[in-house]
Homo-oligomer: A and B are copies of this chain.
Amino acid sequence: MIKTPEQYKESLRKMRPNIYKFGELIEDVTTHPATKRCVTSHAKAFEAAQDPKYQDLVTVESKLTGEKVMRWLTVMETPEDVIKNCNFKRLMYNLTGTCTGALCVGWNCLQSMWAATYEIDKNEGTDYHKRLKKWLEYAQQNAITVAGALTDPKGDRTLPPSKQKDPDLYLHIVEERDDGIVVRGAKVMIAGVAAANEIFVMPTTSLREEDKDYAVSFVVPRDAEGITIVEARHPDDARELEGNGYELPAAGTGITQAWILFEDVFIPKERVFMCGEWKYALKAIIYFTSAYRALIGSCVAGQGDIMVGSAVLIARANGLSEKVFREQLIKMIINNETTYGMGIAAATLGEKHPSGAWIPNALLANVNKVHVATLPYETKVLCEEIAGGIGETGCMPSWKDLKNTKYGKLLEKYLTAAAPGEARARIAYLIQWLTCGAGIPGCMHGGGSPAAAKLMIRATAKWDQYIEQAAKLAGIKKEDIPEKR
């Protein structure tokens, strides 16, 4: 099924209100200023699905039913499928300026659990894969949005889940029933929950036998009984409540990140995809990160595109030629294309999993994650450099001041350069929003920390081959090389 934006919003409005911000319940996520921007961002995908220019990218024929479905509700089976995901993510950032988490993290959970459930079933005689396939059909038929939730609160980082003082610091099974399970705990800093119909839950770390109860994966409606959601603060998010003029993107887009509290939530059996099989937690995570860390490079490239565009606009608005900033603009493009290209490479050199899923190359994906944790920051700084003083923080009068009858006209007069004052201010505010405001997604730790990525690089690099070839060239005998210490 292909929903229209209006149908999508309608589906959100039907849900039980269980999202809070600033201590207050949000009755309608599609209109409340704290969440509506996030919904608008996601709605742009449904809009694009109607647009001949984009529909091939946003929709695809289902292998399960032969019907046209939203692309994020399908398993990626070829490098081309992964590349389409890259291009979809870059497009979404182009259209929204920011992250649409409920279109991509859930997709990635589906992809990783597709492979993991296949293996569990094969080895353990379970039927998770069938359950997942069934849910996927349902999801396709309803064109839903799905947030993905991995990150637990984690407590003391040096201790495993079962050794924490408080057992709830990782989400866990508290009861197994015939018809399902009951879970408790939290998933934190989850993107796009306010715009999601459902939440796909997976473990966040490798587990040992004593952590068995923490080996749990399932999908649950966002408004299920027992779930309370608190939206986190963003820089500048108060502007969303104020709702004033030019201080936020005119396109009405935005992002949210939520703390999801699970207070003994019941999950029916057919929606459970892992339940105690601790050995597969690490595998599922590796499938997740191999795809996610390849793909996330397209997100930051897509936001980087907007920064390039904004930088050219502000330079012109300031009365300068963009030629003055040629080196900087090209460096920004190099950064964008590098994180995008490394994702393409990881996709291309991936491997077919017996389940049919295509798993991108882990080494290249993790190298990309390190780039994603560094290059976009440089792009932001370059964008601020080009913008001049006005793009820097703390330098723009508020909309209320601009519209003040006493001195507003004077402010506008003094904002005027080669572009009219208000237009120039709009671009400057967009730059602030992109570089240190509410439009910033989590490049550093989204999809895991660069430190975690480096561990994976170490684990997947071909050390023996490097050493052997070097020793051959140098003419060193094996016995002359001291053992690894």
Bitwise, A337-381 to B at CB < 8 A (1) or not (0) is 110111111111100000000000001100110110110010001
**Which of the segments A63-71, A172-180, A254-262 contacts the partner chain?**
A254-262
Bound-state Cα–Cα, A403 to B22, Å: 10
Within 8 A of B (CB), among A98-142: none
Q: Verify A341–B333 contact, CB threshold 8 A.
A: no
Establish whether residues B423 and A480, one from each chain, have CB atoms under 8 Å apart when the complex forms.
Answer: yes
**New A-B pairs, 19, CB < 8 Å, besides A157-B418, A313-B471:** A94-B465, A155-B416, A157-B319, A188-B395, A189-B392, A189-B395, A246-B475, A256-B394, A306-B470, A308-B463, A309-B471, A316-B484, A330-B457, A334-B370, A334-B371, A342-B342, A344-B349, A377-B381, A430-B470
Partner of A400 from the list B23, B416, B451 (CB cut-off 8 Å) is B23
Which of A206-214, A217-225, A228-236, A281-289 touches B?
A228-236
Across the interface, do B466 and A312 meet the contact criterion of CB distance under 8 Å?
A: yes
A401: interface (CB < 8 Å): yes
Q: Tell me the bound Cα distance from A189 to B236 in angstroms.
A: 19
**Cα distance A233–B29 in the bound complex, in angstroms:** 27
CB of B482 within 8 A of CB of A316, answer yes
Q: For residue A330, which residues in chain B have a CB less than 8 angstroms away from its CB? A: 454, 457-458
Whether A32 sits at the interface, judged by CB under 8 Å, is: no
Interchain nearest-CB distance for A134 vs B (Å) = 32
Cα A462 to Cα B473 with chains together (Å): 45
Which listed residue, B249, B403, B404, touches A20 by the CB 8 Å rule? B404
Contacts of A22 in B (CB 8 A): 398, 400-401
A437 on the B face (CB < 8 A): yes
